[in-house]
Amino acid sequence: MKLIIHGGFFSESSQSHETKKAKQDALERIVKQSYEYLKNHTALETIVYAVEQMENDELFNAGIGSQIQSDGKIRMSASMMDSVTERFSGVINIEDVKNPIRVAEKLFTYDDRVLGGEGAISFARKNGFEKFSTEIPQRRKEYEEKVAAQGTGTVGCVALDAKGNIAAATSTGGKGFEMPGRISDSATTAGNYANAFCGVSCTGVGEDIVSASVATKIVTRVTDGMSIKAAFDRTFAELKPYDGFAGAIAIDKEGNVYHQDSFPKMVFASFDGTNFETFD
């Protein structure tokens, strides 16, 4: 069993050492709790559990603590996929829910599995997700000052369970001050993808990740026989012509855990029951 999570990027210029330590501590707590959960649950159940914990922590730009868009509203996106069914479900630009990943989970068994905007909100309300404001004072202050002090960020999880099944989930509160209607990579297969060979969750600038189809390319290359490192190296090389801003975490079917970013530092943590790793 293996588990890796990410919490977006850490900006050395705009965040204090106290914030860095807080994020490291939060990631360690969440990855270890989620690993314990994985012992008795599937990879699919575990990725939702882990991402929900990060959505509930205002240190991260997903769920509580999400960025505010240019019109003063918060719109979030989240998705999930697993290697058993190869189903993908997600919500795009959903508003006023506490945990977008749980709405994506609810959609997983439906025929129409990716919903956006008002459709996503309506589906959430009809399925018992109460109205909840994820805005925190810090985000309002940043919005009013037009300064995105938390930087580019998203949260995600990739898990390999005891049966060898892989699943990936990603959730974001956006990049901040974006145009209403903008769609990030987080609820697309460019930013979140899994099959029987590999699972990937991305963070960074959504437009760059979509342009490079980062998650899909990495998984496809591993499926076609590349090592996970080689798949990452080739995919990230394809970001260089336009200075693409991206980070990704992954686990392959052999249990190899990997992470890479084009602009340090992506915050992450991995755990396999014995070995713990996090960002410096």
Active site residues per annotation: 154
Counted residue by residue, the chain has a size of: 280
Q: Which strands make up the sheet holding 246-252, listed edge to edge? A: 192-194, 198-204, 246-252, 257-261
Structure tokens at 99: 């945990």
The H-or-E segment that residue 171 falls in is: strand 166-172
Query: Residue 252's CB: how many other CB atoms inside 10 A?
Result: 25
How many other β-carbons are positioned within 10 Å of the β-carbon of residue 233? 13
Residues paired with 257 in a beta bridge: 251
CA distances, 253 to each of 46, 83, 166, 179, 256 (Å): 17, 10, 7, 39, 7
Whether the Cβ atoms of residue 34 and residue 155 lie closer than 8 Å to each other: no
Q: Do 100 and 76 contact (CB within 8 A), yes or no?
A: yes
Say if CB 198 and CB 222 are below 8 A apart: yes
